[in-house]
Each structure stands twice: as structure tokens, then as C-alpha cells.
Chains A and B, each alone.
Chain A
């Protein structure tokens, strides 16, 4: 079945450590996105990529980094520079690059807790 796979589902990190969240899709979608979800707030865009080897900052990119070396993969690294990294992270994709006229397909999410 086609879909988006995120791992790990739960992750604990000590302060000062970098952590990488995996996102893999087999939908052959061009565009991929990383969102952060906090209680009482809407989903906020961290980074997005419309094509391999290219990505753009979203609204809250500080303290995060991404890569897009393959069409299927869009990993997110939460660095020690991110001041409040505890959150629920969602990866998503759309069929057409740069277009929201089609629905977003989301992964199951990764819940990061900083101890």
C-alpha cells in the first residue's frame, strides 16, 4: 500500500543532542513537507521541498535542518539550537510540486520529548 512512513513514532532526547526524524513516501509525490503541531496551535510549516536536492524554509525553520537527496525521503534534523523541540512532528506530501490544490497526505507522526 502506498503511503508515508515516519519513524520513530516516539523519541526521547536529552538537551543538547541532535535528533533526526525519518520520513519516507512511496506515493511518487514531488512535494514533501514537515509540520510541527503543539497543543492549542495550528500546524506550523518547518521546511518543504518541491524537488530533489532543493528545499525551502517554512515559517519556523530556526533550529531545524533537512535534506532531499532522494524523491522518496525527506529527513528532518532537530538540532540543539531549537529552543523548544518537544512537539508532535508531521511529515506530509502532495502530488504536484508547489501546489496545495490537491490534498496533503500525512504520515503517522513522530512525538519528540526533550528530557
Chain B
């Protein structure tokens, strides 16, 4: 079956750097997404990786290693507003193009 693993919770300090890991096992791979979701709100798109390597977008970066089935989201210069759940989602299945979400990592940023 298809599977995504990410830590359930993480805590970090304002101004610091935090790395949220995501590992996956899927039948084929078409791309990996990271979304941010504040409590009771809609998920919002952060990044999309389809090739190996690091994609940087401001304070947020996302890394992908397809051979290892591994990705991470790196958040720099943490702010209190970064306290949210971070969802990893993998697009797989070749032409059928399906999407599976991880359970999300709840990040708490402390002063």
C-alpha cells in the first residue's frame, strides 16, 4: 500500500531553524507537495518538488531525494505565526495521478 510518514509534533524556538521530515513509499512518483494549515483553516500551498534537490522560497525551503523516498521542509527565522500543521503529500501512480496526504506535523513555535 501507499504510505507517508512524518512526525506528529515538533517544538521550536522563535528565530531558530526547524526541519520537518517526510518519508514515503508509493507506487511511482509524480511529485511531492508541502502545505501549511493553521487550526480550523484551509491548507495553503508552500512548495512542490518533482526533481531531486533543494527548492528555496524565502524563509521556506523543501528538499527531495527520490531514491531515498525522502523530503524535508526547512523553516528559517521562525516566527510565532509559523505555528501550524505542515502536510506532506505525494502524487503517485503514473498516468492515474493520485494524491496521498500524510497525517501532518504540528509545529509549535515558542518565544
A residues near B (Cβ < 8 Å) are 4, 35, 40-45, 88, 90, 98-101, 103-109, 111
Contact = CB atoms under 8 A, between A and B. Distances in A.
Contact of B43 (A40, A45, A90): A90
A74 to B, nearest CB: 15
A98 B104 contact: no
Interface stretch (B10-18, B51-59, B65-73, B95-103): B95-103
B31 A101 contact: yes
A42 B30 contact: no
Contacts, number: 55
Contacts of A43: 43, 87, 89, 101
Which label, helix, strand, loop or mixed, suits the secondary structure of the A interface? loop
Interface residues of B, number: 25
Nearest to B33: A103
A45 B41 contact: no
Nearest to B91: A100
Interface in B3-58: 4, 8, 30-31, 33, 35, 40-45, 48, 50
Contacts of B43: 43, 90, 104, 106
B99 A106 contact: no
Given A90-B43, A100-B91, A103-B48, 14 more contacts: A4-B42, A40-B8, A40-B103, A42-B100, A43-B87, A43-B101, A88-B40, A100-B97, A100-B98, A100-B99, A101-B30, A101-B91, A104-B99, A109-B40
A98 B102 CA distance: 20
Contacts of A103: 33, 45, 48
Nearest to A40: B103
Of the candidates A44, A98, A103, A109, the one having the most CB atoms from chain B within 10 angstroms of its own CB is A103
Contact of B42 (A98, A106, A111): A106
